[in-house]
């Protein structure tokens, strides 16, 4: 097992419904430690840049609109195999496919408004963490 860091975002559908604490409880119960966290209103250009890998997908413009529709909470989670562990806690992209007990099964409203983002690889985690945080903000 290796200790990893991953980037998590609690999305606007969840912050609007005051679910930050309940979602954080799921992370902590799973053994993920929140070592950095801040609440932000993303600008359009930040959201476009963050989701640039999806810019040719049909849902890109709607996704950007959704991600700036309210505040987000960006956070760094640390733990053994944190990238995969967080993806397991999140559940499948489409809440209809997500397993019982996952964040998306319990809280997501739709395939788009699915409550959380999590990095999908260690390489992307490092890029996404540095998109939002300076090293001095990661307090292990
Ligand atoms: P992930 O968040 O599970 O890694 P990705 O495929 O990376 O899923 O998609 C990024 C985000 O784009 C999803 O979390 C969701 O908010 C949105 N999204 C993905 N697929 C669709 C779709 O088919 N329709 C609408 N939105 C989508
Ligand atoms: Mg993804």
Average pLDDT, integer, range 88-98: 98
Confidence band (pLDDT; 50, 70, 90) for 137? very high
Q: What is the reported pLDDT for 97?
A: 98
Which ligand has the nearest atom to the CA of 57? 1
Query: Is residue 117 within 6 Å of ligand 1 at its C-beta?
Result: yes
Instruction: Kindly write down the DSSP assignment for every residue of the chain, as one continuous string.
Output: --EEEEEEEE-HHHHHTT-HHHHHHHHHHTT-EEEEEEEE---HHHHHHHTGGGTTSTTHHHHHHHHTSS-EEEEEEEEETHHHHHHHHH--SSGGGPPTTSHHHHH--SSSS-SEEE-SSHHHHHHHHHHH--GGG---
Asked whether the predicted pLDDT for residue 62 surpasses 80, the reply is yes
Active site residue 117: yes
User: Of residues 66, 117, 119, 133, which has the active-site annotation?
Assistant: 117
Query: Is residue 131 within 6 Å of ligand 1 at its C-beta?
Result: no
Average pLDDT, integer, range 124-134: 98
Residues 11-35: tens digit of each pLDDT: 999 999 999 999 999 999 999 999 9
Question: What average pLDDT does the chain have?
Answer: 98
Residues 43-52: tens digit of each pLDDT: 999 999 999 9
Which residue minimizes the CA distance to atom 27 of ligand 1?
112
Q: What is the reported pLDDT for 76?
A: 99
Query: Is residue 11 within 6 Å of ligand 1 at its C-beta?
Result: no
pTM, rounded to two decimals: 0.98
Q: What is the reported pLDDT for 43?
A: 98
What separation in Å is there between the alpha carbon of 136 and the centre of ligand 1? 30
Asked whether the predicted pLDDT for residue 86 surpasses 90, the reply is yes
Query: Is residue 86 within 6 Å of ligand 1 at its C-beta?
Result: no
Confidence band (pLDDT; 50, 70, 90) for 1? confident
């Amino acid at each position: 097992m290796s200790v990893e860091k991953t980037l998590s975002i609690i999305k606007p559908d969840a912050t609007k419904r005051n679910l930050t604490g309940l979602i954080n409880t799921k992370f902590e119960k799973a053994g993920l430690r929140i070592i950095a966290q801040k609440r932000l209103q993303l600008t359009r250009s930040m959201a476009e840049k963050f989701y640039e890998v999806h810019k040719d997908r049909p849902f890109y413009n709607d996704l950007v609109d959704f991600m700036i529709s309210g505040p987000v909470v960006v956070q760094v989670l640390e733990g053994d195999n944190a990238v995969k562990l967080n993806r397991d806690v999140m559940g499948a992209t489409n809440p209809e496919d997500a397993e019982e007990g996952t964040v998306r099964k319990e809280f997501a409203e739709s395939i788009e408004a699915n409550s959380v983002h999590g990095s999908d690889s260690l390489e992307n985690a490092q890029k996404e963490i540095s998109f939002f945080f300076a090293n001095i903000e990661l307090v292990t």
